[in-house]
Each structure stands twice: as C-alpha cells, then as structure tokens.
A and B are shown apart, each in its own frame.
Chain A
C-alpha cells in the first residue's frame, strides 16, 4: 500500500474515531493538535487502525508513537 492510500484511509479512520469531519491527517500531526486525543482515545485509534489494516503493533511501537508519520511508517512496512 502506498503512502497516499494510507493517508486516505487514515483520514477516514481519524474522522470516525474523533467524530470530526474537518480533521486533516498530516505526517506531523500529534495528539496535542487534536481535541479529544487522550490516552484512551489513542487506544481506540490504535485498535481501529489495527483492524482496518489487518496488522498488529507491538507494545513498544504503540508506546513510542509520537506523530502520524510514525504510524504511517509502521503501516507501510506491515500492510
């Protein structure tokens, strides 16, 4: 799966998880930039991404994830 496709799919997922249609998913986006992106919503985001891309992140990958770019790079390798 190439990067534009991943971003397209991630945008749908972010809209769904954060219930916010205007969200714009960019590589540098972090939890600080999105209202409601707390630790619990982070887990909900991660499980939704895992389900959508049929992949599983390791514990250290989940805890080290700082911005969207980290997420995309992992998806690129796995999906």
Chain B
C-alpha cells in the first residue's frame, strides 16, 4: 500500500515524547492554541489524535483559552459511526488553526436532524454541517439497463441530499458540506458496469456528477471523498468487516487522512489556506548545484529522469501560480548565479517573471522567509516552504513554526506529489481575483531587505548536535578528496585542481599538512565536507594552498572550526604564521571576505582580484562553534575535545 497518504508523510513524524508533552499541558492561564497547533502539526495516528482531542476538550472545559485558534462549530450528520472520527477531526483541526467543537446527534438520524427545526443540530447553531454520508445512505435502487429508472434513481438521490440541505438552510442557515460518494469495488459485469446505466458504479458516477454541478451554482461545499478513496485505493478504503463490526464507513487507517481533508475545508472556509509557495533552488527546482555545476551541468531537461522530476516541481508551481498562489525563491546562492538558469536555461519552465520575491543570498533561510513575508505583507501562516535539505527544513520549522514545511522523500520523482498531497492551498471557491493575484504581488514586490536577522541561530546550531571529524589525507578518503578538489567552485579559495596521483603523493609527504573534514548532525552524516592543504612558506610559515568546503554546510560555522584545527597543528609544528590566498574566479565570490571574516590581516591585493592574507598563530582564537570535535590519524596522539 502507498503510505504517502495514509501516513500523512508530508508532515514530520511525531516526537518520541508526544504523550508526555500532551500530559504536561495542564490547566493554564496562558492561551494554549499555539502549543496545541504545534503538537497537531505532526503525522499523528488515530490514538495520538484521540489523546490530543481529549486534551483540547479538557482544556476547553476548564475554561482555558485556545487562542489564536479560530473557533468553529461543526455538526456531523452521518449514516455511519463517527465516534472514532470526531476526536480525529478536533485534533486535526488544530493543525489547520481551528478550535473545533463538534455537535453530534444520535447515530443515523440524518434526515430527522436536518428537517426538524428544533433538532439538536438546528438548535445548536453550527457554523457548518458536514453530511458525512456514504453510498449506503442513499435511496439507491439498482435499475440495470433501464435508462429512465437509472435517471430517476440519480435524481431521487440528489433530491434527498437537497432536501437535507434545504432543511438546514431553513432551520439554522449553516454552511452545508456534502461528500462525493466512493463507489464500492464489487462489480456485477466487470468493466461494463461503467458503461451500462443503472449499475451501482454508473449510478454513483451520475450522483457525484450532479452533486458537483449543483454545488457549482449553489455555493455549497463538496468534500471529495470519492477522490480521496480513489487516491488511496477503493479496495483499501472500503473495509466490509469494519462496516459489519461497527458501521465504519471506511477503513480506520484512513481516519487521519479523512480528518485532514475535512480540516482543510474548514480552514479554507475561514480563509486560512496558504497563499505563497517559497521554493529552494538547488536540488529542488533543478537537480544539482548551480554554483558548482553551472547552467550546463544542472539537471532540468526532458529525457533525464532527475531533470524531469524537477520539471514536475516547476510545472506544479506554475499551475499553482495560475490559480493564484504567489511564488517566491529562497536559495543559498550568489544572486546573479542563482538567476542564471531562469535566464539562460532553455528548458526551465519557471521564469524570473513568475517569481514575486527572489531571495538568493547566504543568510539563513528563516531570515529570508521572514523577509519574503514582510515584502508581500502576508503572514508567515500563509507560507509554504519547499526544500530538499532536511537541515534547512528543520531550521525553518524550529524558528518559524507558522510556516508549513512539507517533508520530502528521498525519491525526487515524488517531490511534486508530496507537495500536492499536503493540501496547503485548499479552496472552496475560485474567482477572477484569484487568477490575477500572483501578478499583483509580483508588481508590488521588490527585493526585500535582508539585514534583519531572525534570532536564535546559535541555539539552532547547538540543537543540530554536530560532530566534526578531522583527519589527514588517506587512501580511504582519496577518491572523495579528488572529487571535491575538482568539483567545488563556490566555497573554494584558490580553485586549484589536483589529480589522484598528486593527492596520493601528498598523503606521505611529511612537509605538507592536509585535512579532510567530515560533519554529522541529527539529520545524518553529511560525509566529507571540507578539504585543506597547507604547504611550507618560509622557515616558520604555512601557505594555505587549498581550502574548500561544500555549500551544504554553510552557516554552520564549520570554517571557524577548521581554522581552529589548522592553528592547533601549526602551533604543534612550531609554525608562527598562516598565509591565505584568495584567487577570484567567476564562481567563488562567496568567499571573497573569507579570510577577513576569520580575522586574517590583508597583505596584498592585486588587480586580478587575488588577495593575500596573514594570521599570526600565537594568540589567534577564532570563534568556537557548538559541535563535538574529533581529531584523529595525525602524527602524534589523537585527541578528542568538546
């Protein structure tokens, strides 16, 4: 079974201590809305949802404010047992910013409740009524091969639904939410059931069609249960045993998914659907890293499986834009380089004119997303941020919890599907204003001011639980060292390329100091991310011949830690000064201030853009970043320091 939908895989997994965190929510003077919403924003199973709903009910009963969640009273009228579904609805609604209260009349009293003015539902003044009906609720008479009888049956079913609606409209004037009907899997003729009028499949097709046509003009809302059931598979959706045992309309494993779809509709009614899609670029909009691979090297073309997967992301973004979603970019790149594919790559579907706010720089992404929100004058709760990098997703979730950040699978072909599955842009209507919105924002927006930093980056770095490992060059690391030396363009001070035999020779050269650096964090092992080569310069100096780093770990203060390591070895070797060189290329502007930022003193600057820098070893003390340091394999004793 495909678990993307049943397990809500666009949401982060629930924390291990979920139950304890729920229990810790006591009676409080403070409004609980944000805390409940943050707990609800994980992929919760039925038992977790039930417990969360109990906490919400308990808090409400104790008079605790659920602000800033928006109150919503929903009556659920059903021909099935909704006792397990209702708690899931309450908990899931919190995920979508809604404090949901459910009015539930006695089992299978749909018509009585809708049509009687003083029924429980009508007297309780709900904001909306959900007709949670499945095909078993309809007056369906098989009329095989009889077109007139089939048409009459379809009209009869629609008439029944409209009578319910009229009852609610007359008696409480609540919004009516209908469900399309998931057809049962059992056929009589096989494929011919689709063709022949009067079969169950054909009747339900007709009813769904008529229901949609009615809602288009009446303004009533349709929850597309047929679509949900088809998406996950009708054979899994319908569980005859559960119907017989407890009158459950569909399999329990889909209750979280169903609840999420209901909650999306309620949020859309309250205007809480999201409005902006913020896209990362490298390995999200295209395959590869533009700063390293160049316009020719990135994968974004038809005929290449990876390229086509990224094109699917672009296509979905473009289609969302056509229906009114505003597009923005947040990328760790030099601005001009990040724009190149949009301007130069013939197969890019997205163009710069589609992007309302384009933020390519080296700031952390939380800062950039805040800047995008400010620029568009929209709240953070209107934003969705799509990024392949789990560390970036984690940072944004932690620092800007209001932003929706879909989890992405390892499989790039599923990026577009996962974004769509999240249902961030649920709508209950569509107007001509929606068509124009994306353009309006584009006109109003200019490049945002990025100077303001969102606080707490150090705390975030600490929470990454990083371990940095330093080793001299060795045979095991050789292939990756050679690859980094010949591929890295952006964070590369001198861009000197070396062959494998040349690197191999360095391994046993006692006069040369080499470093291979690895970094792991809570998201996993980043592998080798930095390489340094130092050669003797004069009697007591080291010339930093090569210093490069993977841009994946930018902003982690890895550079400072690498410098600390170099200094320690220099000191032990009796070296008194380090000489650094920056050789400008058309790709490495990123590190033009590298040595200045680390506290080196400038010696010379040439016309060519080449600058030379010096640091006195004695007394140098670069910033210590929060990570565990392991230094091993060097001549002398290995050490491990915190």
Contacts and interface: CB of A to CB of B under 8 A. Distances in A.
Interface residues of A, number: 14
Interface string A49-65: 00100000011001100
Interface string B250-269: 00110000000000000000
B420 to A, nearest CB: 26
A40 B244 contact: no
A72 interface: no
B54 A19 contact: yes
A58 B239 CA distance: 12
Contacts of A5: none
B26 to A, nearest CB: 15
Interface string B28-51: 000000000000000000110011
A44 B87 CA distance: 12
B47 A17 contact: yes
A11 interface: no
By DSSP majority rule, is chain B's interface helix, strand, loop, or mixed? helix
A39 interface: yes
A12 to B, nearest CB: 11
Contacts of B244: 59
Interface residues of B, number: 17
A22 to B, nearest CB: 13
A43 B241 contact: no
A49 B169 CA distance: 43
Nearest to A57: B241
B458 interface: no
A11 B148 CA distance: 58
A36 B440 CA distance: 55
A40 B47 contact: no
B252 A47 contact: yes
Interface in B234-257: 241-242, 244-246, 248, 252-253
A53 to B, nearest CB: 15
A8 B50 CA distance: 22
Contact of B246 (A19, A43, A48): A43
Given A16-B47, A47-B46, A40 B54 contact: no
B43 to A, nearest CB: 14
Given A19-B54, A40-B83, A48 B242 contact: no
Contacts of A62: 241, 245
Given A40-B81, A44-B84, A19 B245 contact: no
Greatest chain B CB density within 10 A among A16, A47, A62 is at A47
Contact of B47 (A39, A48, A59): A48
A44 B50 contact: yes
A51 B81 CA distance: 20
Given A16-B47, A40-B246, A44-B50, 8 more contacts: A19-B51, A43-B84, A43-B252, A47-B253, A51-B253, A59-B241, A62-B241, A63-B245
Q: Please name the 8 residue pairs, one residue from A and one from B, whose CB atoms are nearest each other, closest first.
A: A47-B252, A43-B246, A40-B83, A16-B47, A59-B241, A19-B51, A17-B47, A62-B245
Interface of B: 19, 46-47, 50-51, 54, 81, 83-84, 241-242, 244-246, 248, 252-253
30 contacts: A16-B19, A16-B47, A17-B47, A19-B50, A19-B51, A19-B54, A39-B246, A40-B83, A40-B246, A43-B84, A43-B242, A43-B246, A43-B248, A43-B252, A44-B47, A44-B50, A44-B252, A47-B242, A47-B252, A47-B253, A48-B46, A48-B47, A51-B253, A58-B241, A59-B241, A59-B244, A59-B245, A62-B241, A62-B245, A63-B245
